[in-house]
């Protein structure tokens, strides 16, 4: 799995302002900025993102995804 594939899955499953992904092909880190996070607690934000890659996590193709989730206002601060 590539960084671009992870990025594309997140963008396809969630309305995002920006997505940055880095990783080694098995473990990834993503910074996701989305208006959908407004008013949501960190766990709920992460659940929204994890839902976009759940099939790959379940299959073992994507082993780990660390997330930083921000609203557009938080990202610009």
Q: What is the pLDDT of residues 43-59, one digit of tens each?
A: 999 999 999 999 999 99
SS3 14: coil
Q: What is the number of domains present in the chain?
A: 1
User: Residue 30 corresponds to which tokens in the numbers above?
Assistant: 């993503």
Tell if the pTM clears 0.75, that is, is over it: yes
31: CATH? 3.30.300.90
Burial of 34 (C-beta count, 10 Å sphere; 0-12/13-18/19+): buried
Task: Please report, rounded to a whole number, the percentage of residues in the chain having pLDDT higher than 70.
Answer: 100
Residue-range definition of the domain harbouring residue 69 = 3-76
């Amino acid at each position: 799995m590539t960084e671009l594939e992870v990025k594309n899955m997140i963008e396809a499953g969630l309305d995002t302002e920006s997505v940055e992904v880095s990783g080694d092909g098995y473990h990834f880190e993503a910074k996701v900025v989305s208006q959908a996070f407004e008013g949501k607690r960190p766990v709920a934000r992460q659940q929204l993102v994890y839902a976009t890659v759940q099939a790959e996590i379940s299959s073992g193709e994507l082993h780990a995804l660390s997330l930083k989730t921000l609203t557009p206002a938080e990202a610009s601060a």
